[in-house]
Amino acid sequence: MFSLRLAVRFLKSGKGQTVLIIIGIGIAVAAQVFIGLLITSLQKTLIDRTVGHQPQITITSATDNGLIRDWQTITARINAAKLVNTVSVSASGNALVRKGTKTTPVIFRGLDAQADKIYNISSSVYAGSWNPSSQGILIGRDLEQDLNYNLGGYILIQTPNGTEANYRIDGFYDLGIASLNKTWIITSLSTTQSLFGYNGSITAIEMTVGDLFQADAIAAHLKADLNNNNLTIDNWKAQNAQLLSGLQGQSLSSLMIQIFIIVSVVIAIASILAITVFQKSRQLGILKAMGIKDLAASLIFIFEGLIIGLAGATFGVILGLVLIYGFAIGTAKPGTPALIELFIDYQFIAISWLIAVAAAVLAALIPARRSLRLNPIDVIREG
Amino acid sequence: MANIVELRQIEKIYKGAGDVQVLFGINLSFEAGSFNSIIGQSGSGKTTLLNIIGTLDRPTRGEVIIAGRRTDKLSKDKLAEVRNEIIGFVFQFHFLLPEFTARENVLMPYWIQPRHPRKEILKRFLTWWACLNSRTNWR
């Protein structure tokens, strides 16, 4: 391909200029990839840490006593719909912990084995162990420290209607959230049911979904499917509208930055290639005198755009990945959770690469058009 | 011999603030294989005439026939083909492509097409090339 050969020669003849423009595009693409991946990773990390380890859809009772009686039928139906990852039932109630003269309000949480998939209880237990069928209980780090309990010791629980019972402490957990560590007493479903006299009923069905952002749609689907006025179906998106709008604002500003970067790349390439047409006008004039056709002459610049676009975009993607990995490694502190958990979105990277290449070719159209207007006689006349 | 170039009633007027007519009804023909010179005073229109013969410029009026084809009405691309296949230029200034070697500059019209030079042409080229190379260090 003659035009391609010419494009390569023209680029090689101005090596310094070519390398500079490739570095320029590379830095712009690297900035785009870095910002895009950083924001995505930050958001994923934030969402994962805030709602990843809690139920994303919760079904509670709309009745006065707050109990769900026919929960086996409901969970069977939910499981059959195959819309959610985990379905866990819980029976909870407010209670008081009494130690000496001190009373502390707590939530007595009876959970089934599935709850482990939502709350990661077994990996949060730092002393003792969790057995979802045990009659014993788990208490959180903050409550342990406040009231100074020992593993294997007993804890006195009092319900609002006056029932009192002692429970053995099977273990201590740390869910990473102080309010939970202070107020949740985790035990088995049957323990809570018998303490509060729920008579086999539960208080909530908790679920996690595959795609967090589909939680509202899945919740709506379940609502229609269950069609039960005695149930309230809630999802994390509805409960965290402010967090969501904050994230959307962040995404939008990231998008704006990326658009500005692309626009500057296009303008930079177009102006540099336009200068190339001017620089090479003598050569173009000679080639036209020797019979190069307009299309072939324009293609020289399109190929130049394509070559620098490919080189710049590839360099940029590599540089962007180096930067984001460098950022993740550089900000990591031993012993604390990473600032961000890297989420490398290959589709985003591929799209960024493709946009940069397309932008380079598009920018090359301007000088390509200019080359059409070049008349060999003008070049020859001027010497 | 047949005419390779024929000009009929060629006029050339440069349009501008005041129109300037350079060529006035030129009738001219060149035989194939002949060697011709155009001599004239500075500003008499030699370059204009050569540009029209070389199809780099179009006459305002008149007909240009090159190798039996009328070229004054051809499209830009067709003219490019005529220049590439029939016409060879030796410019007043040495117009070479600095990005290419001397040999590549010589072969450039073939690359534009693209096609390979005929065997006898290539042979002649290589003979000349060897001759030049014995005196220079061209690549």
The string of pLDDT tens digits covering residues A161-208 is 888 889 999 999 998 888 889 999 999 999 999 999 998 999 999 999
- On the question of pLDDT at A336 being above 80, the answer is no
Which residues on B lie below 8 Å from A10 (Cβ)?
Answer: 99
**Tokens 């502390």 identify what position?**
A104
What CA–CA distance (Å, rounded) separates A314 from A33?
A: 11
Which residues on B lie below 8 Å from A380 (Cβ)?
Answer: 51, 56, 91, 95
Best residue of B55, B56, B75 to probe chain A, by most A CBs closer than 10 Å: B56
Under 8 Å CB-to-CB from A28, ≥6 apart: which residues? Answer: A261, A262, A264, A265, A268, A312, A316, A356
- On the question of pLDDT at A130 being above 80, the answer is yes
CB B84 within 8 A of CB A290: yes
What CA–CA distance (Å, rounded) separates A123 from A132?
A: 14
Q: Which residues pair with A66 in a beta bridge?
A: none
Rg (CA), chain A: 32
Q: Which helix (H) or strand (E) holds B12?
A: strand B3-14
| Smallest Cα distance from B8 to chain A, Å | 22
Q: What is the DSSP secondary-structure string of A110-175?
A: EE-TTHHHHH-HHHHEEEE---TT-SSEEEEHHHHHHHT--TT-EEEEE-TTS-EEEEEEEEEE--
Cβ–Cβ gap A12/B112 under 8 Å: no
- On the question of pLDDT at B138 being above 80, the answer is no
User: Nearest-5° angle of CA A235, CA A240, CA A246?
Assistant: 140
Give the phi and the psi of residue A274 in degrees, each rounded to 5. -65, -40
Q: What global pTM score does this model have?
A: 0.72
Under 8 Å CB-to-CB from A211, ≥6 apart: which residues? Answer: none
Torsion from C-alpha of A206, A211, A213, A216, nearest 10 degrees = -40
The string of pLDDT tens digits covering residues B64-115 is 999 988 998 899 889 999 999 888 888 777 778 888 888 888 888 888 887 7
What CA–CA distance (Å, rounded) separates A272 from B55?
A: 32
Cβ–Cβ gap B112/A283 under 8 Å: no
**Closest to A291 (Cβ–Cβ): which among B47, B81, B97?**
B81
**Closest to B99 (Cβ–Cβ): which among A10, A288, A380?**
A10
pLDDT bucket at B139, cuts 50 / 70 / 90:
low
What CA–CA distance (Å, rounded) separates A21 from A15?
A: 10
